[in-house]
Amino acid sequence: MLSLGRFVTGTTACVAVVGALAYGSLLARRSLLPQWSGALARLAEIIIGLFVFFAVAQALGAAHLFSSITVFVGELLGGLALCVAGRRLPATGAHPQDEFVLSVRTSRPRGEVAVTVVGVALVVVQWSTHVAYAISKGMTHADTLWYHQPFAATFVQQHGFTGIDSLGYDAARWFPFNAQVVHGAGMLAFGRDIISPFVNLAWMALVLVAAWCAGRRHGVGHVCVLGAGAALGLPVLVATQPGQASSDVACAALLLAAVALLLESKLAPVPLGLAGLAAGMALSTKITIAAPMALLAVGVVVVALLGRHYAATAAWSGALAVTGSFWFLRDWVLSGTPLPWFAINVGPIHLPAQIPPSAPSLAHDVTSASAWRDLYLDGIWQGLGRAWPVVLALLLVAIVLLVVSGPSRMHRLIGAALAGGVVAYVFTPLTGGFGFVFNLRYLAPVLLVAFALLPALLSSRDGWRRLAIVTLLVVLVADLTMPNRERVDAWPSGTVLPAIAVLAVAAVLTYGVVRRPRALVGAWAAVLAVVALWFAQRHYLEHRYVGVGLDADAVNAYFRDVHDARVVVFGSDETYPMFGLDLSNRVARGDAPVVDVHGDDCRGWRTNLRDRADYVVMTQFGFGYFVKPPDAVIAGDPAAHVVLRSGNTTVYRIAGAFDPGAC
pLDDT tens sequence across 186-240: 999 999 999 999 999 999 999 999 999 999 988 899 999 999 999 999 999 999 9
Across 637-652, average pLDDT: 94
Same domain, 583 and 447: no
Is the pLDDT at 95 greater than 50? The verdict is no
What letter represents residue 643's amino acid?
V
- Bigger pLDDT: 511 vs 262: 262
DSSP run (H or E) holding 369? helix 369-371
Please indicate, yes or no, if residue 333 is contained in any of the structural domains: yes
Same domain, 455 and 557: no
User: Which residues of 130-237 form beta strands (DSSP E)?
Assistant: none
Question: Do residues 2 and 190 touch, judged by C-beta distance below 8 A?
Answer: yes
Please indicate, yes or no, if residue 404 is contained in any of the structural domains: yes
| Integer Cα distance of 126 and 120 in angstroms | 10
- The pLDDT > 90 percentage for the chain reads 75
Q: What is the pLDDT of residues 420-464, one digit of tens each?
A: 999 999 999 899 988 898 899 999 999 999 999 999 998 667 788
Across 454-478, average pLDDT: 87
Please indicate, yes or no, if residue 489 is contained in any of the structural domains: no
Of 269-283, 356-370, 637-651, the range with the lowest mean pLDDT is 356-370
What's the count of helices (H) and strands (E) in the chain, helices before strands? 27, 7
Please indicate, yes or no, if residue 249 is contained in any of the structural domains: yes
Is the pLDDT at 663 greater than 90? The verdict is no
Is the pLDDT at 102 greater than 60? The verdict is no
Task: Specify the pLDDT at position 581.
Answer: 97
Same domain, 174 and 71: yes
Q: What is the pLDDT of residues 122-171, one digit of tens each?
A: 999 999 999 999 999 999 999 999 999 999 999 999 999 999 999 999 99
Task: Specify the pLDDT at position 508.
Answer: 73
| Integer Cα distance of 76 and 57 in angstroms | 11
Same domain, 459 and 588: no
Same domain, 434 and 570: no
Please indicate, yes or no, if residue 513 is contained in any of the structural domains: no
Question: Do residues 567 and 586 touch, judged by C-beta distance below 8 A?
Answer: yes
Using pLDDT thresholds of 50, 70 and 90, give the confidence band for residue 96. very low
Using pLDDT thresholds of 50, 70 and 90, give the confidence band for residue 509. low
Task: Specify the pLDDT at position 99.
Answer: 37
- What is the domain range of residue 604? 553-662
| Integer Cα distance of 3 and 538 in angstroms | 10
Task: Specify the pLDDT at position 93.
Answer: 46
Using pLDDT thresholds of 50, 70 and 90, give the confidence band for residue 106. very low
What letter represents residue 347's amino acid?
G
Mean pLDDT of the chain: 91
Same domain, 461 and 593: no
Task: Specify the pLDDT at position 493.
Answer: 87
Q: What is the pLDDT of residues 330-382, one digit of tens each?
A: 999 999 999 998 888 888 888 888 887 677 899 999 999 999 999 999 999 99
Work out the number of other CB atoms within 10 angstroms of the CB of residue 104.
Answer: 12
Is the pLDDT at 540 greater than 70? The verdict is yes
| Integer Cα distance of 487 and 59 in angstroms | 37
Distance of CA 165 to the CA centre of its chain: 21
| Integer Cα distance of 428 and 235 in angstroms | 21
- Bigger pLDDT: 151 vs 114: 151
Task: Specify the pLDDT at position 25.
Answer: 97
Of 98-102, 478-482, 544-548, the range with the lowest mean pLDDT is 98-102
Q: What is the pLDDT of residues 592-625, one digit of tens each?
A: 877 776 656 888 899 888 888 999 999 988 777 7
Is the pLDDT at 17 greater than 70? The verdict is yes
Last residue of a domain, which of 430, 462, 480?
Answer: 480
Using pLDDT thresholds of 50, 70 and 90, give the confidence band for residue 516. low
Is the pLDDT at 483 greater than 80? The verdict is yes
Same domain, 92 and 183: yes
Same domain, 468 and 566: no
How is 546-604 classified by DSSP, letter by letter? SS-S-TTHHHHHHHTT--S-EEEEES-S--GGGGTTTT--EEEETT-SPP--TT-HHHH
Last residue of a domain, which of 480, 513, 544?
Answer: 480
Last residue of a domain, which of 416, 448, 480?
Answer: 480
How is 418-484 classified by DSSP, letter by letter? HHHHHHHHHTSTTSSGGGHHHHGGGGHHHHHHHHHHHHHHTTT-HHHHHHHHHHHHHHHHHHHTPPP
Same domain, 402 and 286: yes
Rounded to 10 degrees, what is the CA torsion of 534, 537, 541, 545?
160
Task: Specify the pLDDT at position 512.
Answer: 65
Is the pLDDT at 103 greater than 50? The verdict is no
Please indicate, yes or no, if residue 280 is contained in any of the structural domains: yes
Same domain, 443 and 578: no
pTM of the model as a whole: 0.94
What letter represents residue 648's amino acid?
N
Rounded to 10 degrees, what is the CA torsion of 68, 69, 71, 77?
160
Number of domains in the chain: 2
Task: Specify the pLDDT at position 98.
Answer: 37
Please indicate, yes or no, if residue 341 is contained in any of the structural domains: yes
In terms of Cβ atoms closer than 10 Å to its own Cβ (0-12, 13-18, 19+), residue 469 is buried
Please indicate, yes or no, if residue 538 is contained in any of the structural domains: no
| Integer Cα distance of 432 and 366 in angstroms | 8
Q: How far is CA 419 from CA 20, 31, 124, 231, 425, in A?
A: 40, 37, 29, 17, 10
Same domain, 258 and 353: yes
Nearest to 545 by CA among 534, 554, 537: 554
Same domain, 458 and 569: no
- Bigger pLDDT: 218 vs 59: 59
